[in-house]
Copies of this chain bind each other. A is one copy, B any other.
């Protein structure tokens, strides 16, 4: 059927990036011979849906199977070969060898696209073979088989996004879940004080969380931790991270980094000009600084897969930017829902920014997702990370109710557009009382950034509060007496904001010549109080995020102290 001079494109891996390349290529070149070698039994399955099938939210296994080799043949004239495990690339002969149900076979190519993905990392330990992982449909089948035996307990090793999604879904099935995380906090994309809010929520919802500890052995019915603790676990799932599944690329002499990621240029070309690579198997480029990063996310896999097809057929960039298409860097924007809480992040967190030697300013707010006079408003906690000199936005995090994803998407777009932190105040966002606020949480972040950049106010980080107190600074709580009585920062003095002007002399005496640390519940009243104090010649600064940030983080600190 195909012309003799048709290009032969071979693709290894038939899920996100590989399949995006294949279907795009067909739309651009009806005559190409496109063959996909997929090791597993399924292509184009809904890998991000796997945890929800495990939890019964997605009821039908078939819902996970988005395409079949047959449907891809009839619509896109693709030759999709499942259970074809590509094991060797002969770059000289431009051939790939695969193990197939019918034995070893060899496939020629003009261009080869590698989209082998990443595989779950399983730390070596006794009993590790009892640990399940979650990468594909076969894995979720194995998890479902264990769920059918009605286990009472499960240990989830690794508290990243997939770990949390599985925790939620097993918890919904009535299983007692313990999350075990080697780092001092869950959810590495977040900073510790934001992760603390999520951890508090998980605990309140009945999930056990162990941090700063790790599995050393899996026994018949438990996981033994480094600390000596035993976590009861009829079921064990290991989700501590993934590694590029790239032995075939390394064996072929393609350049890879120390984690095994395939190194590609801005056109997704490997060190062999006829071999491209996309998806979780490749080293991506950080959008903030262009540095190489490993960020295994579906959206860039799809986008880059599409781009490879464009590049193979020689499609020029549509925006007039040069002759050769280039792929964009990645911000690592991600979102997870866990037991009613939405957690989302984009770009760099404060930890990463500091590790990269960047000067960092942060803003913590706790707005409602829409006007509070309209029923059903939910709280959000937002953190903005930016450069205080250039005002460049580096990243943001959100933890809370509905609309957390929206605010992170807006900030990810602002970063893509090069908007400054203060520019956030000037974006025209859609407002109606059930969708937002006339001063949207995004607008407010911009206002606070403006206040800090203008020198109108300053703030102190909750992490630095104890030292401030040790240095003799007064902590002034300007919330109401009722709020203060329901919980407060040790040694804080309560002068409600509306009484502050009348009690300035009392505050002046307590301050004893030192800068006052002011706080309220979230920072808004604190800001007004700081301005009043400064107008009365009292140095003052506002506790960033207020009592809400402090108390969430404090609760985590106390848990850690007990655990130690």
Contact = CB atoms under 8 A, between A and B. Distances in A.
Interface of A: 16, 26-31, 46, 48-49, 52, 57-58, 63-64, 66, 74-77, 161, 165, 287, 297-303, 306, 315-316, 318-319, 328, 330-337, 342, 344, 346, 371, 373-375, 391, 403, 405-406, 408-410, 412-414, 416-420, 422-423, 425-436, 438-440, 443, 447, 449-450, 453-454, 456, 497-498, 501, 527-528, 531-532, 535-536
A387 to B, nearest CB: 12
B49 A428 contact: no
B428 A331 contact: yes
B315 A456 contact: yes
6 contacts: A30-B535, A301-B438, A333-B431, A413-B429, A416-B419, A417-B417
A101 B416 CA distance: 55
B412 A346 contact: no
A373 B45 CA distance: 10
Instruction: Please give me the 4 A-B residue pairs with the lowest Cβ-Cβ distance, nearest first.
Output: A417-B417, A30-B535, A318-B453, A335-B430
B427 A373 contact: no
B49 A374 contact: yes
A513 to B, nearest CB: 20
Contacts of A52: 374, 433-434
Residue among A16, A318, A346 with most chain B CB within 10 A? A318
Contacts of A531: 26-28, 30
Given A49-B373, A412-B428, A414-B417, 10 more contacts: A28-B531, A30-B536, A298-B438, A302-B443, A319-B391, A319-B453, A333-B428, A405-B406, A413-B419, A416-B419
A412 B438 contact: no
A315 B299 CA distance: 43
Contacts of A374: 49, 52, 57-58
Contact of A346 (B403, B418, B428): B428
Contacts of A46: 371, 373, 433
